[in-house]
Structure 1
Amino acid sequence: MKETRVASRYAKSLISLAKDEGQLESVHEDMTLVRNTVDENRELALLLDSPIVKGDKKLVILQQIFAGKIGAMSQKFIDILVRKHREHLIDDVAEEVQKQYLVLKGVVRAEVVSAIPLSEEERNEVLRVVKQIDGRSEVQLKETVDTSIIGGFIITVGDKMVDQSVVGRLEKYRQKFNKNQYIADL
């Protein structure tokens, strides 16, 4: 079984338990903190992936890092992951919790890449397009500026992508020209 599927199942279990206990919001906040901490600290990520460091030492380190910062349910969940030798999945599980939480709340994640920062009018248009693509009413938009696309934008919603960048259009034209036998024979 792939690791992402395992992480997804652990996340689903945690979300289900948190929902039943009325702690969904706090568990989501805890897992956001856990994910940010692991993502920002390379040494911690390497420690969690290391087969050399024993699980009990990893558990003590994680307890010290998150003591008083996350709730008891989240701490116990991390303890279970470490005891089951799944500590390398903590970051993936935290990410899956975030994804499943947004799905549960009816929020869609979208990313827009543009050559320059979006104006308020452009941002509203992107939000309208994303809502039209996905059908959900609430959108969590991540904006990225990438000058290499020259102009235009690229919108990604789940596994769907709308590429209206200059670089994307030039690539489409290049592919069309490469398929043209008359030009290829020159």
Structure 2
Amino acid sequence: MSAYRVASRYAKSLLELAVERNELDQVNSDMTAVLSLSAANSSFSDMVKSPVISSEKKTEILKSLIGKNASALTLKFFDLVGEKGRTGFLPEMATAFLRLRNEHLGIQIAEVVSTIQLDDELRNSFKSIVKEISGKSKVNLIEKVDANLIGGFVLRVGDKQLDESIKSKLQQLRLDFTQNLYEKKY
């Protein structure tokens, strides 16, 4: 079974239990901690995917790293994942959980890359554009600054991208000039 399917199934179950027990915020912070550990430390990812380390040891390590402030539901989830031998999919499960949580709460994640730091007026403009594109009322805007764009912005909403940067316009112009559209008349 693919990693996406496994992660989605476990994440969906965890989300349903978290909503049922009113622990959605706590489980969300636990899954965010798992993702940040996975991104910041490659040895953590190697540990959860290692076939040499036993599932019990992996669960014990997970509980010691996350367990200080983790909810009881998250700790039980770690036990279940370890029991089933699925700890290698834990980072994917955390990603899937966060995606499903945002869908459940009606939050659209969008990323805007610009050459300057956004002020409140621009930020609100981008949020209204994202609301119009996605049809969702809540928007979480991730802002990044990239001076290589020269000017303009790149807005990503789900699998859609709006590229209004000077860099991409120059690249398109360069591509247009490489095509020889000149025809001899004689």
Q: Same fold (TM over 0.5)?
A: yes
Q: Is the 8 A contact 2:110 2:140 kept in 1?
A: yes
Q: By how many angstroms is 1:101 displaced?
A: 0.7
- Give the C-alpha shift of residue 179 in structure 1: 4.4
Report the Cα distance in structure 2 between the residues aligned to 1:61 and 1:68, rounded to whole angstroms. Answer: 12
**Aligned residue pairs, count:** 183
Which residue is equivalent to 2:70? 70
Gapped runs of 5+ residues in structure 2?
A: none
- Looking at structure 2, the residues matched to 174 and 129 of structure 1 have their Cα atoms a distance apart, in angstroms, of 29
Partner of 1:16: 16
Partners of 1:18 and 1:123 in 2: CA distance: 32
Corresponding residue for residue 135 of structure 2: 135
The answer to whether residue 33 in structure 2 is matched with residue 56 in structure 1 is no
Q: Who is 1:100 aligned against?
A: 100
Q: Counterpart of 1:142 in 2: which secondary structure?
A: strand
Within 1, Cα distance between the matches of 2:66 and 2:165? 43
Matched ranges for 1:152-171 at <5 A? 152-171=152-171
SS of the residue 2:118 aligns to: coil
The TM-score, its normalising length taken from structure 1, stands at: 0.90
SS at the partner of 2:182?
helix
- Deviations 1:99-127 (CA, angstroms, capped at 9, x unpaired): 11111111100000011211222111111
The CA RMSD over aligned residues, in Å, is 1.7
| 2:41 paired with 1:41 | yes
What is the percent sequence identity of the aligned residues?
A: 38
Secondary structure at 2:27's aligned position in 1? helix
Task: Note the C-alpha offset of 1:24.
Answer: 2.0
Unaligned runs of 5+ in 1: none
SS class of match (1:52): coil
- 2:110 and 2:142 map into 1 onto residues whose CA distance is 6
